Structure 1
């Protein structure tokens, strides 16, 4: 597929493209890496074709800590399929986990299937083409884990921190359920409003992990904060990190350092 300029694109050559009412969706390749983009240089998803289950972005790696903070989950909901990075990683880390993934753009679903190894025939995976806010408001199903990673072409979808979205998402959590939310905030006002919305819905039952790139992963618990044994957390993170080939123990140590008092006592102390 021909490019419109001679200048090399930082994410490589286009290998597939769709266009819908929201704009372009492109798949690009550079070496063994495959990228999903919305017609710009922002990576919506990145897949190492040699290790398709390996998470390439630090913030998605951090989200895998949810499997340790809510042990032995039976079901997970992914809001925002993208190129299926979380689907592949969760399938590799927890093969028995029942997954449902919601994506508002059919073009994204098609490219995830055709180019990123998302298997629509997987009996453990259900794909829904729907608006994420409408889905959580309308379904009655409950999940042990909910991953919210909703993006527009220009950045994180602001619906993720809207009060009604958070309320409906909490209602969709099963007993002891956990929401993992990618809350990237570029301005102080955004961060303040996000904090206020989370406080209104989840109160003190949440943790935050700040990682490189400006992302903050929010761990919001439906019922209470867990009391965590530090050594057990680090050991489990090391084992899962080896399985996924990601530095999960390092991320677990950062999580502990940023939330030590809450994790020791099961009680939140706002910073």
Structure 2
């Protein structure tokens, strides 16, 4: 049975649902390039970890949803070539009709298909791979397995980062984090849980990341000035959670 695709609006925000009240994506209608949901903002925290003026040159987004991350990267990272993989064609149609999905062009390609299979079969490498794919029951399926995370790592460039959305309140959450840590040989970090219960985890490949707290704060201020994305609260939560040993983010 196919998954229902529903659209709702409240207080100037448009939401995507898969046949339930569970929010699969959101867009503030007057600010379509802003990231409305906290976890989507944190999924872009890689911009604090690499030189954001030149990075990413290429991005793979698995799971389109309300096209929030696609719009943001397309608008604010003009140097990036973007590949989106979405398994449900009706989600792509809804994103075009209701969520201002940019037209495909030399920088943006949309592939309708299985994200896990795409990663297993492609020979391309990406600076940034964003994974945010769930069904109506909040299950990630093959997108949360050891073979998938290992394949993602193999598809990252020498400055590559994976960012993945997990559910911190699910019974399998710790196992998900352990799979990522193992696949990336301990070069992984799970950020403190958002209020929604979402947890964003990162895995790194290539060049070592070591950013002092003061520099993280400065990069967050510069990113906010450039894009409107405010990751200052994220940096504070990392500090308060003890995720910055020696006052540094090391990955």
TM-score of the superposition, structure 1-length normalised?
0.84
Taking the aligned partners of 2:222 and 2:71, their CA distance within structure 1 comes to 18
| 8 Å contact from structure 1 (residues 156, 184) kept in 2 | no
- Partner residue, 1:166: 149
- Partner residue, 1:16: none
Taking the aligned partners of 2:239 and 2:208, their CA distance within structure 1 comes to 13
- Partner residue, 1:9: none
Taking the aligned partners of 1:33 and 1:265, their CA distance within structure 2 comes to 34
| 8 Å contact from structure 1 (residues 227, 263) kept in 2 | no
Unaligned runs of at least 5 residues, structure 2 = none
Q: Return the offset for 1:35.
A: 1.2
Deviates more, 1:37-46 or 1:222-231: 222-231
Secondary structure of 2:167 counterpart: coil
- Partner residue, 1:155: 138
Larger Rg computed on CA atoms: 1
- Partner residue, 1:264: 248
Unaligned runs of at least 5 residues, structure 1 = 1-20
| 8 Å contact from structure 1 (residues 65, 252) kept in 2 | no
Which of 234, 237, 247 is equivalent to 1:251?
A: 234
Q: Return the offset for 1:225.
A: 4.3
Secondary structure of 1:232 counterpart: helix
Taking the aligned partners of 1:214 and 1:43, their CA distance within structure 2 comes to 13
- Partner residue, 2:29: 49
| 8 Å contact from structure 1 (residues 208, 255) kept in 2 | no
Two-structure CA RMSD over aligned residues (Å): 1.9
Q: Could you give the per-residue CA deviations for residues 152-199 of structure 1, whole angstroms, max 9, x where no partner exists?
A: 1111414332011111111111112000011214344x1232133123
| 8 Å contact from structure 1 (residues 202, 222) kept in 2 | yes
Secondary structure of 1:44 counterpart: strand
Taking the aligned partners of 1:235 and 1:77, their CA distance within structure 2 comes to 27
Secondary structure of 1:174 counterpart: strand
Q: Return the offset for 1:148.
A: 0.4
Q: How many pairs are equivalent?
A: 246
